[in-house]
């Protein structure tokens, strides 16, 4: 079996994931729009919610993927009991 390609570092993986999920346009446009429209309070609440909700889910997703060493579909197939759907 051929060995899969791997990223060189963890930082490279994080930057690649963020780039795919966010996109450059949103990174530049979001702070400008919130500044123009007085949305500082929203940004603060959003950042807190992102840390409290998003980080644990992201960590769980990485841990499950690493443990299963499979694609997301196969990972969830391994987790569910035989004959069980949802």
Domain residue limits, the chain: 10-79
Looking at residue 37, its pLDDT comes to: 87
Rounded to whole angstroms, the Cα distance separating 46 from 20 reads 20
User: Model-level pTM greater than 0.75?
Assistant: no
**Residue whose entry in the numeric block shows the structure tokens 């994931």:** 17
Rounded to whole angstroms, the Cα distance separating 61 from 20 reads 16
- The string of pLDDT tens digits covering residues 41-67 is 888 888 898 889 988 988 988 888 888
At 9, is the pLDDT very low, low, confident or very high (cuts 50, 70, 90)?
confident
Burial class from Cβ neighbours inside 10 Å (0-12, 13-18, 19+) for residue 9 reads exposed
pLDDT at 74 over 80: yes
């Amino acid at each position: 079996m051929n060995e899969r390609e791997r990223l060189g570092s963890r930082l490279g993986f994080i930057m690649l994931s963020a780039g795919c999920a966010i996109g450059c346009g949103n990174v530049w446009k979001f702070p400008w729009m919130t500044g123009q429209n007085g949305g500082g309070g929203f940004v603060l609440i959003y950042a807190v919610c992102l840390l409290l909700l998003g980080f644990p889910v992201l960590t769980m997703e990485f841990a499950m993927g690493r443990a299963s060493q499979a694609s997301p579909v196969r990972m969830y197939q391994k987790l569910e009991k035989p004959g069980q759907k949802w």
